[in-house]
Amino acid sequence: MRKNVGLLGVMILLVSLVLWGCGGNNVVASVNGEKITTQELDQNVEAMKAGLEQQGLIFEGDQGKEFEQMLRRDVLNQMIDQKLILQEAEKRGLLPTDKEVAGEIEQLKKQLGSEGEFKKFLAANGVNEPKLNDLVKQQLALNKLQEQIASGVSRPSGEEIKNYYEQNKDQFSTPEQRQVRHILIGVGDYSNGKNRTEMEAKVLALQVAEKLRSGADFAELAKQYSDDPGSKDNGGEYPPFSRGSGFVKEFEDAAFNLKEGEFTAEPVKTAFGYHIIRLDKVIPAKVQSLAEVKDDIAERIRQEAVSKKMDDFMQELRDKAKIVNNLGKDPSGQAEKGVSTKK
């Protein structure tokens, strides 16, 4: 099935296109004679570092420097593989037509909303339209190559599907769940601006519990008294949950010790305050049948086979290629002349 490049794919690849266009005389690697410069590698590494730093990684100290050198080697290997794939796509005549490229760019413009937003997008990423055209052309070629390689992978047999199901039944099971409503009488910062003391919260919780015993509607009381903004407007109802779903232990234990229709006569104390919990429904554990999941399993098995075939294909490209990697194993990350790999 044909993959659309899409806005996200284009955004991810814009940086690569810009770097391919950068010059530089210091060659850090070559792939079948096609050069990768130190400048290209440096800028790719910086782009990768920026993304990792946004996720909280720190490149300081000896450990940070060591991690950065590992990153340089990994990024260079990715760049080498990228060139191998593009070279193979061109060799197989999988470059897209001008019409296909134009169609993808039109889709991008539609996703951005207007021609003006499209121009802003290009300017913000330092890319002009000819470069974007090249990017889309190369991405479509990559997609076609991947589809061609994957086309030889057939649907798994019924026996394979059955064996996968039997060996991975836990993946197709849902543990027992509880559907509850609750009313939180919060303490301190959790009291919805009321700044209640623990004693005030407990007294109010007991009063609300008494109203429930007298026949008051739980949902209406939740809307009136609960300090939980995520559930009060829904009558205190939570989505079904199983043990280990992230609720505090006191709340979870209380919910799983109730019978359907019961509520906690004694409010349950947690760090948030006092909770009155009612169990509305017990949802039994369930194991999906083979018939229910066979199509999903078939696709999983096929995707695993496709991934294996792509790995083998990439290894074959590396084995046949003339790859010169001047980065080598130099811990300083500076280019070493003449480190050649004919993998």
What pLDDT shows up at residue 47? Answer: 73
Task: Give CATH for domain 176-284.
Answer: 3.10.50.40
Cβ-based neighbours of 157, under 8 Å, separated by 6 or more = none
Q: What's the pLDDT score for residue 331?
A: 39
3-state helix/strand/coil string of the chain: CCCCCHHHHHHHHHHHHHHHCCCCCCEEEEECCEEEEHHHHHHHHHHHHHHHHHCCCCCCHHHHHHHHHHHHHHHHHHHHHHHHHHHHHHHCCCCCCHHHHHHHHHHHHHHHCCHHHHHHHHHHCCCCHHHHHHHHHHHHHHHHHHHHHHCCCCCCCHHHHHHHHHHCHHHHEECCEEEEEEEEEECHHHCCCCCCCHHHHHHHHHHHHHHHHCCCCHHHHHHHHCCCCCCHHHCCECCCECCCCCCCHHHHHHHHHCCCCCECCCCEEECCEEEEEEEEEEECCEECCHHHHHHHHHHHHHHHHHHHHHHHHHHHHHHHCCEEECCCCCCCCCCCCCCEECC
CA angle, 231 then 236 then 242, to 5° = 85
Helix 198-213 vs helix 218-225: crossing angle, to nearest 10:
160
Q: What is the pLDDT of residues 250-285, one digit of tens each?
A: 999 999 999 999 999 899 999 999 999 999 999 999
What is the structure's pLDDT at 328?
60
pLDDT tens readout for residues 108-164: 999 999 888 988 888 876 678 887 888 888 789 888 988 998 888 989 999 999 999
Structure tokens at 135: 């990017």
Closest to 140 in 3D by CA, of 338, 3, 300, 330: 3
Q: What is the pLDDT of residue 126?
A: 64
CATH architecture for segment(s) 6-156+293-341? Orthogonal Bundle (1.10)
Query: Long-range pairs for 116-125 at CB < 8 Å and ≥24 separation?
Result: 125/11, 125/14, 125/15, 125/18
Every domain of the chain and the residues it spans:
6-156+293-341, 176-284
**Residues counted in the chain:** 343
Q: Is the pTM of this model over 0.85?
A: no
Q: What is the pLDDT of residue 338?
A: 40
Cβ neighbors of 339 (< 8 A, separation 6 or more) are 324, 325, 326, 327, 328
pLDDT recorded at residue 139: 87
Q: pLDDT in tens for each of the 343 residues of the chain?
A: 344 444 445 444 544 444 444 444 589 999 999 999 998 898 778 878 877 887 888 888 888 888 889 999 999 998 899 899 889 999 999 988 999 999 999 999 999 998 889 888 888 766 788 878 888 887 898 889 889 988 889 899 999 999 999 999 989 999 999 999 999 999 999 998 999 999 999 999 999 999 999 999 999 999 999 999 999 999 999 999 999 999 999 999 999 999 999 999 899 999 999 999 999 999 999 999 999 999 999 999 999 999 999 899 999 999 999 999 988 644 343 443 344 445 4
